[in-house]
Structure 1
Amino acid sequence: MTEPAILASASSENTAPDGARPAPFAEPTAPVTGRWITLFALAWLGIWMAQLTPVQLLLPVQVEAQLKAHDWVDNVVAFGVVSGIAGAFALLAYPLTGALSDRTVSRFGRRRPWIAAGALLFAGSLVMLGRQDGIVAIGAWWTAAIVGFCVLTAALTATISDQVPVGQRGFVSGWISAPQAVGTIAGIVLVTTVFLGQFTGYASMAVLLVVLVIPFLFTKDAVLTREQRPKLTFGELLSGFWISPKRFPDFGWTLLSRILVNIGNALGTTLLLYFLKYHVKAADPDSSLLVLTLIYMFFVVLASLFLGRLSDRIGRRKLFVLISSALQGIAALLLALFPNLTVATVGAGLLGLGYGCFLSVDQALATQVLPDPAARGKDLGIMNIATAVPQAVAPLLGAVVVAYLGGFGVLYLASGVISVLGALAVLPVRSVR
């Protein structure tokens, strides 16, 4: 069957009522149901608790306990190296998983087998990580956990392009970012009040991950026939990792914007505790961090749900990406120029408002600039690199800037400038308003 015939067949199948099995390469038109969105959001809640609770608390404490360094910079650098190695593996895991899921032939569909496999690898690695007491083993099992995270989220993100019509994508994408905010707070509260101890903390996050992802596996997923499956050779797989910005400029500009904004945001948030402790010299930096985090998360949830839906209604994406990136830049510049707790409180609100809007609207924008409907998983996997890798390398980059390149003022100045450049990078996109 030729590609045009496949696409024509897919389009006709996609006119089935909501709840019917979607076609592999069709542009979806039937709205997804509230049940589908609920299960999608619950899956992301489990994912973010399992990924961000270790990043924010469990892993730094575990690394610090092994290192026993007296200088906080040494601890941050060690944590940054562990995160950076895991981030390097994410560079391969995201697009590879996406490419393989695009070509998966099974009666369970293309994405669900990878969602299940990724969840099991992620959860199992977290359980093993909780038992480690050597820095090399910690790094190895955290890397395995991040690979599982990439496998799971690459396949789950691709379901947006597969099943969600354009007019719903801003709202649905908001249910990726809103659970991120809730999951961060919920995970930290659980491991500090209920599931105490290193192993128990990691194991509880692993169990919650599996419990919350499993229900989504009972949603529909398109089945790819062997005749429809794109060819898979090593050369084609390797060449598919490169998407020419000259041939597909909208994809290139969107990817660049995402890289810059996520680097700016990560530099602005990952060393906030140290900023409060050593630069602002807050009387109670731990309590101050909790307050700032709650403010940040509140505005992330608010912006991701309401502004994502608003972008659907008015059919505009670029305007929201511009505003969200600019807000993050302003927040970082305020912290650079006026380093005090009052300004930090305002900055936390602006940063949350900007990043929450960016997460939902930019995800919707990314799904609209994909070059090939038969390679959605792989192309979104490349887009996802721009989110995961900056978060992985930010602790190390931030520590280097603070220790050797001018301190926290330079760090937040760099964060603000990079975020503004990310806003400007979306301007040349022409296929999306």
Structure 2
Amino acid sequence: MVTKNVPDAEQLSAAGITANTPVGIAPASDLDAATRDSSGGAGRAPGATSEPTQPMSRGYILWLMLASFGASMAMMVPLSYGIAVRITELAPGHEEVLGYITGTAQVAYLLISPLVGIWSDRTRSRFGRRAPFLFLGTAIGLVGLVIIGLAPELLIVGAGWILGMVGWSIAGAALQTLQADKLPEQQRGRVSALTGLMTQIAPVLGIGVAYAVSSSTFLVFLVPGVIGAVLIVLFPLVKPEGSSKGLAPSTEVTAKSVFMSYGFSIRKYPDFAWNWLGRFVFFVGLYFNTTFGTFFYAQRLDMPVREVAGVVATVGMVGVLAATIGALVGGFLSDKLQRRRLFVMIAAVLFVGGAVLEATAWSLPQIIAGAVTMQLSIAVFATVDQAIVFAIIPERNEAGRYMAVIQFAQKIPSAIAPMLAGLVITIGAIGGEKNYTLLYLAGGVFALIGGLIILLKVKSIR
């Protein structure tokens, strides 16, 4: 998968960071010297402005993959299944509430994410700059899941998911920024493929875990969350980031710099801007076609919502093969051919195909065909566009801030698209059947436009 302010000392303590573990706030460093971290993979000194050049070790990549798997499981199982079950228990027949709960949580994270990015860039601790946020985000995320699992009413479910979303998003952002800090160009596609593959597989296996314990709603939230938390926390313990306490300050944090961190210069960084816009539009389409998946399957297959977990797990497990192919082919081939934009466009076209199949599906085989095609598309897009992002970050000493900004292109759609989708499914709805045909077709159109923007407008990347 907490307050709206920067976390305080008590929250740091909850994440395992005590008074004996100094975590200071200091401006980003302009150190020129690169150092090797203790992870076994080579990396730049945190704050260095030069491009990373030394490849990450296989061991480091393996643990990065496991942590990415954990973060995705903890976030996506509640989002794709658990919260829908809670809504069905507490307010049956009110599917639209799902969009409001998930959208509100995304807005909360959007408000704090640049602040978290700035704080991460300037953190000075023996754990490094990013590791403290893996601990902090995990602790907050787990608290949120416990609250949802025990909530007696929808308002508390919503509050719990704000905590859950914020916590797991902080941990996920830290993992993304570590890749931006350490990945050299020749590894960006393949490592993005491998970590992206983990984020595709984790929800599928997580749904299977949730289904296995579905007799207890509390365990549906707790078990995937604990699995995710263990994998996230082990990563910086087994493969330490390295101390950032010795980095020298270079700039001062001011109210103006904090305000400016929510944006960037479009004129100065046009490729970053166009990629941001294309990513934004693509993700609007993606969230149109994924947010209401549980309810969509229940309607089209005429099943109770609680029983849909088995279908979701089955569809997802078939889709794992497609996600594997998409991530690996997209990542490795884009590295080998040194072509990124072409693969983004291929992903967008595949997404349209999957959207049409699902929009017109009233049988499990066609639903599976559409879902598999969409899984393939999402895996290719996520892998290759992430490699593009790592290549066009405007200022590498502010990687945390810019990774937060690029996340806006995903998080804003995840906030507004579910709300819009909740309205779209009511257009032309007959009786209790929502208009998922219109929703899925509209999602395909958005994805196609997003791919075209990146293909035609991002000029510095082939």
TM-score higher than 0.5 here? yes
Aligned to 2:256: 235
1:275 & 1:232 partners in 2: Cα distance?
47
The percentage of aligned residue pairs carrying the same residue is: 29
2:70 & 2:124 partners in 1: Cα distance?
27
Cα offset, 1:271, TM superposition: 2.7
2:205 & 2:379 partners in 1: Cα distance?
18
Q: Please state which structure has a larger fraction of its residues in helix.
A: 1
Cα offset, 1:21, TM superposition: 5.9
The answer to whether the 8 Å contact 1:14/1:28 transfers is no
Q: Structure 2 residue aligned with 1:416, among 420, 444, 448?
A: 444
Aligned to 2:404: 381
Report Cα offsets for 1:157-182 as digits up to 9, x if no partner: 10111111111111111233212222
1:160 & 1:332 partners in 2: Cα distance?
31
Change (3 A) 1:34 1:417: same
2:143 & 2:176 partners in 1: Cα distance?
21
Q: Structure 1 residue aligned with 2:65, among 41, 62, 84?
A: 41
What's the secondary structure of 2:165's corresponding residue? Answer: helix
Structure 1 residues 29-428: aligned runs within 5 Å: 29-67=53-91, 69=92, 71=93, 75-194=94-213, 196-218=215-237, 219-221=239-241, 223=244, 225=246, 227-278=248-299, 286=308, 289-336=312-359, 341-404=364-427, 407-426=435-454, 427-428=456-457
**Aligned partner of 2:452: which letter?**
L
Cα offset, 1:203, TM superposition: 2.2
Two-structure CA RMSD over aligned residues (Å) = 2.7
Q: Which moved more, 1:112-121 or 1:15-24?
A: 15-24
1:148 & 1:323 partners in 2: Cα distance?
33
Cα offset, 1:248, TM superposition: 1.0
Indicate whether 1:23 and 2:45 are aligned.
yes
Q: Which moved more, 1:312-321 or 1:342-351?
A: 342-351
- Give the paired residue count: 423
Q: Which moved more, 1:324-333 or 1:21-30?
A: 21-30
The answer to whether the 8 Å contact 1:116/1:152 transfers is yes
2:221 & 2:303 partners in 1: Cα distance?
30
The answer to whether the 8 Å contact 1:230/1:374 transfers is no
1:314 & 1:110 partners in 2: Cα distance?
34
The answer to whether the 8 Å contact 2:80/2:293 transfers is no
Q: Which moved more, 1:257-266 or 1:202-211?
A: 202-211
The unaligned stretches of length 5 or more in structure 1 are none
The answer to whether the 8 Å contact 1:173/1:308 transfers is yes
**Aligned partner of 2:113: which letter?**
Y
Q: Which moved more, 1:284-293 or 1:22-31?
A: 284-293
Cα offset, 1:52, TM superposition: 1.0
What's the secondary structure of 1:76's corresponding residue? Answer: coil
What's the secondary structure of 2:461's corresponding residue? Answer: coil
Aligned to 2:18: none
**Aligned partner of 1:51: which letter?**
M
Report Cα offsets for 1:20-41 as digits up to 9, x if no partner: 5631223111111111111111
The answer to whether the 8 Å contact 1:102/1:377 transfers is yes
Change (3 A) 1:64 1:229: farther
Change (3 A) 1:188 1:336: closer
The answer to whether the 8 Å contact 2:278/2:450 transfers is yes
Change (3 A) 1:21 1:247: closer
What's the secondary structure of 2:56's corresponding residue? Answer: coil
Change (3 A) 1:275 1:118: closer
1:336 & 1:190 partners in 2: Cα distance?
28
Change (3 A) 1:33 1:15: closer
1:77 & 1:38 partners in 2: Cα distance?
39
The unaligned stretches of length 5 or more in structure 2 are 1-26, 430-434
